[in-house]
Amino acid sequence: MPGALGSIWTDFKPQIEQFDREKFTLVAWDPPGYGKSRPPNKKFDDKTLFYENDANYANKLMKALQLPKYSLLGWSDGGITSMICAAKFPDAVHKMVIWGSNSFILPHEVDLYKNVKDVSKWSKRMREPMEQVYGDFFAQYWAEWVDGMVALFEAKDGNICSEVLKDIKCPTLILYGEKDPMVDNVHASHLHTHIQGSRLHLYPEGKHNIHLKYAEDFNKRVQEFLLQ
C-alpha cells in the first residue's frame, strides 16, 4: 500500500522487481483516487474516513482476486490503511509490515506538512515522478492532502487510528529510519508498544524511504519475516 498520492511504480519498483516471485504472489495497487485509479479524485476533507474506505476496498479487492488470506506491506499513509485493515479484518490478514507510518500527528509534524505544501520548492528528483503520474494537477492535489492533514489534526486532536492498534492481532514488523524528516521517532516506539507482539527494526541513517534507499536489505528482511 503506497504513501500519500503514491502509486505502484513510484513507490514500490524495487520490491515488485526483486521479491522472490516463486515464493510470493504480489498484489500492488493504486488506491482509489491515486495513480491510474482515477477519476474520481480522492477527497481529503472527511477526517480519516478515506483511510478506512481504502482498507475496505483493499479487502474487497483481495476477495475478488480469490485471495482471502494475505499479508500487508504499507508505507507511510499506506501503513495507516494497513493498520486499519489488519484491525478490521483479523481473519484475513496473515502478517503486516509497516514503515514510515504513524497513528497520530504531532504539532510539529503539522508544521512539516505545511513546509512541503508548495511542491515548486521540492527538488526535481522528488517532484518529477509524481508529476509524471498527475501532470500539472499534482501541485493542487498535494496541497489538498496537506490541508486535509491539517484539518484532521485540528478536528481529532491529531489522532488518526490509535484506537485500532489494540485490535491488531497479526504478527507485525515495524521498520523505521531514524532520520525520517516526516515521521517523528516517537511513532515507531508507540506502534511497537501498542501492537501486541510486534517487532521493530531501525535504520540508523535511514530517512522516510528506507525501502528504496536500502532496498536489498529491506527486501531480504521483509521476505524472511513473511516466510517465518
The residues annotated as belonging to the active site are 76, 180, 208
d(CA 119, CA 127): 7
Peptide bond between residue 68 and the one before it cis (omega within 30 degrees of 0) = no
Nearest one of 226, 223, 208 to 2, comparing CA atoms: 208
d(CA 59, CA 88): 10
Beta strand spans in 9-124 (E): 70-75, 93-99
Nearest one of 130, 114, 111, 100 to 209, comparing CA atoms: 100
Q: Which residues contact 228 (CB under 8 A, 6 or more apart)?
A: none
| Cell reading at 200 | 521493530
